[in-house]
């Protein structure tokens, strides 16, 4: 729906898509490029290219799958351009061969955006989210797990939990609010709110 609205000319809808996928796209690019500024530049270029090409998005694939391919191509092009620049050091670049699967990078390897501080902050946020999940009442935890981990729709969750759709929506919302209450203070303490 957001994609359709964007194609129809709704810029606000596209802004929401950007906010939704920015972190994942930057993470993906960060596996290919070391320079933190370059990661953001390529992410910007990715969303610009996606915006230009939105009218060509047929909806046959998921939007993120389509965006993912644009990001990989944009990063590869940027790397090719950088390799032609004699002033760019090797440490700026990361392996970018065509036959390399960007998603197969070692999980624990630091990406460009990661410093020891950001790694620590990410671990703390993840730990907080997980502990907040464990503290949720069963029906809230189950509802948000079915939605976020298993990707079920509200109708499917209602069927699984044997409750009305409105109840599913309310449970997921309450679960998110409970987790958010624990996480937000940490996010606000992050320098520059890089999250």
Partner 1 sequence: MEQMQTQELISALADGQLRGDAFARGVELAASDPAARDAWQTYHLIGDVLRSGELAVGSSAPTVFLQRLQRRLQEEQPGMPRAPAVEAAAAPVHEEAANDGSFRWKVVAGFASVAAVAAVVWSLVGGAPDKPVSPELAKAPAGTVLSPGERGVMIRSPQLDELLAAHRQLGGASALQMSSGLVRNATFEGSGR
Which positions touch partner 1 (CB under 8 A)?
Answer: 1-2, 5, 10-16, 18-20, 22-24, 26-27, 29-30, 36, 39-40, 43-44, 47-48, 51-52, 107, 112-114, 118-119, 121-123, 125-126, 129, 133, 144-145, 147-149, 153-154, 169-170, 172-173, 176-177, 179-180, 183-184, 187, 190, 192-195
Supply angle C-alpha 74, 75, 81, rounded to 5: 90
In whole angstroms, the minimum distance from the beta carbon of 162 to partner 1 comes to 19
Q: Name residues whose C-beta falls within 8 Å of residue 102's C-beta, 6 or more positions apart in sequence.
A: 28, 31, 32, 72, 75
The rounded distance, in Å, linking the Cα atoms of 119 and 10 is: 36
Residue 29 or 79 having the CB closest to partner 1? 29
Residue 49 or 86 having the CB closest to partner 1? 49
Residue 189, classed as helix, strand or coil, is: helix
The rounded distance, in Å, linking the Cα atoms of 38 and 111 is: 12
Cross-strand pairs, 73:
none
In whole angstroms, the minimum distance from the beta carbon of 68 to partner 1 comes to 14
Distances in Å between the Cα of 97 and the Cα atoms of 101, 110, 158 are 9, 19, 46
Is residue 69 within a helix (H) or strand (E), and if so which, with residue range? helix 63-83
Residue 73 or 180 having the CB closest to partner 1? 180
Residue 73 or 153 having the CB closest to partner 1? 153
The number of residues making up the chain comes to 195
In whole angstroms, the minimum distance from the beta carbon of 99 to partner 1 comes to 24
In whole angstroms, the minimum distance from the beta carbon of 102 to partner 1 comes to 14
In whole angstroms, the minimum distance from the beta carbon of 76 to partner 1 comes to 18
């Amino acid at each position: 729906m957001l994609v359709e609205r964007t194609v129809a000319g709704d810029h606000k809808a596209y802004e929401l898509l950007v906010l939704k996928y920015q972190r994942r796209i930057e993470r993906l690019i960060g596996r290919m490029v070391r320079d933190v500024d370059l990661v953001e530049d390529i992410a910007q270029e990715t969303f610009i290219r996606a915006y230009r090409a939105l009218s060509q998005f047929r909806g046959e694939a998921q939007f993120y799958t389509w965006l993912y391919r644009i990001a990989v191509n944009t990063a590869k092009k940027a790397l090719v351009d950088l390799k032609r620049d004699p002033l760019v050091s090797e440490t700026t670049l990361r392996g970018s061969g065509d036959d390399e699967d960007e998603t197969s990078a070692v999980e624990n390897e630091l990406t460009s955006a990661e410093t020891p501080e950001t790694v620590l902050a990410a671990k703390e946020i993840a730990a907080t989210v997980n502990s907040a999940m464990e503290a949720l009442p069963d029906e809230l935890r189950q509802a948000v797990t079915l939605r976020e981990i298993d990707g079920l729709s509200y109708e499917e969750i209602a069927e699984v939990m044997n409750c009305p759709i409105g109840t599913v929506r309310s449970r997921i919302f309450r679960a998110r609010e409970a987790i958010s209450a624990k996480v937000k203070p940490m996010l606000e303490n992050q320098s520059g709110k890089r999250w």
